[in-house]
Each structure stands twice: as structure tokens, then as C-alpha cells.
Amino acid sequence: MYLPQPAASVSAPLLTCVAGGRPSLRVAATLLAAAMLLLPSAASTADCAPFEISGDRIEQPLAGKVGQAGAGARVAADRQRGDCVICHRLPLPEGRFHGNLGPDLRAVGLRLSPAQLRLRVAANRHLNPESIMPDYCRSDGRHQVAEDYRDHPILSAQDIEDLVAWLSGLDAAEAAP
């Protein structure tokens, strides 16, 4: 899948490329790529521990961390860390405009186990190398990343475990953090 080179800054003309009132996939992908380049990393290289992938899951919590669901909801809503609402529909009142590039996650706890969620957040590209969703636990394989963030994962092991704890508890469309 071809993704255009992200612009150094997102300008108003880019946002006007809409079809039927909705941004095109190319525009949305460009915006996502630009947003990911601008996100500061709250993690250091040591924060995201090595993990073992078994099929479609990572069985063991990263770095032995225990996730807190409330903290996971904050990571998902935080535009400087997870910013999950840029692509996914979530039961978060903070995000008025939820994305629709990724799957609806409002009841994801019914569909996926914590181990499956952990892989999808930590190393999603293991399942789908063409995905526009970044591997939040890895620092390799990213392009056009600012020097200060190049060798750092996007999220820490604790952030990922917090997200897994929250997402795995979403078992109804009306679920709230």
C-alpha cells in the first residue's frame, strides 16, 4: 500500500481534500503519519521490554508490569501518547471526533483476549506489515522520526499494559472508562 510522504506541517489546503464531506483515505493516512511523527515519546528504550510472540498473541505482560484500566483510558485519550481516537472509535467522552480508519474498539474485550490485545498494541505490524498503525513498543522500522525520538518506542511497557487492561474490559458498546 502506498502512503504519501508526510508533510513537515499539516496545512489547511490538505484538510480540504474531502470526498462527500469525509477526508479521503490518503488524507487521513497522511494526517496520521504526520501526527505520529510529532508525538513526543514518553518512553525510553528501557521502558519497553523484549517480548515473545506466540501465534497472534504476547502471553506475558511486558516487563512484568500490571496494567491499570483507568490509566489505560487516559493513555488512549491522550493526544501526546496513545491518541487512539485518531483512528478508532472508543467509549471516551473526551474525543468528540473519533477516527474510522481502524476497527471500532468499544467492545473489543469481547473479541480479543488480553494477550491478543497486547500484540496488537505492542507490535501490530507482526500481524499486518502494511498497517498504518505503528508498533507502539518498538523503535525500529519507523521512518522520518525526529532525532530525539528515533531510538525510543512510542509508549512504555507500563502504558501498553494499562491500555491492555482498559481495552480488555471493554465488553459492551456502552462501556465507559
Would you say how long the chain is, in residues?
Answer: 177
Do 78 and 116 sit in the same domain of this protein?
A: yes
Do 70 and 27 sit in the same domain of this protein?
A: no
> Average pLDDT of each block of 10 consecutive residues along the chain (177 residues)?
42 41 56 43 52 95 95 90 87 75 91 96 92 85 72 91 96 55
CATH number at residue 75: 1.10.760.10
Do 8 and 71 sit in the same domain of this protein?
A: no
Identify the pLDDT of residue 1.
Answer: 43
Do 82 and 20 sit in the same domain of this protein?
A: no
Do 62 and 141 sit in the same domain of this protein?
A: yes
Does residue 177 lie in a domain region?
A: no
What CA–CA distance (Å, rounded) separates 68 from 60? Answer: 16
Does residue 163 lie in a domain region?
A: yes
Does residue 173 lie in a domain region?
A: no
Q: How many domains does the chain have?
A: 2
Identify the pLDDT of residue 46.
Answer: 39
Do 33 and 47 sit in the same domain of this protein?
A: no
Does residue 134 lie in a domain region?
A: yes
What CA–CA distance (Å, rounded) separates 167 from 52? Answer: 21
Do 91 and 160 sit in the same domain of this protein?
A: yes
Identify the pLDDT of residue 146.
Answer: 73
Do 55 and 23 sit in the same domain of this protein?
A: no
Do 26 and 95 sit in the same domain of this protein?
A: no
What CA–CA distance (Å, rounded) separates 146 from 93? Answer: 31
What CA–CA distance (Å, rounded) separates 89 from 42? Answer: 23
Residue (of 90, 84, 88, 46) closest to 65 by Cα position: 46
Does residue 78 lie in a domain region?
A: yes
Q: In terms of residue numbers, what domain contains 157?
A: 42-168
What CA–CA distance (Å, rounded) separates 89 from 47? Answer: 27
Name the pTM for this structure: 0.69
Do 79 and 125 sit in the same domain of this protein?
A: yes
Identify the pLDDT of residue 138.
Answer: 83
Identify the pLDDT of residue 96.
Answer: 66
Contact, 117 vs 82, CB < 8 A? Answer: no
* Residue 175: other Cβ atoms inside 10 A: 17
Contact, 164 vs 75, CB < 8 A? Answer: no
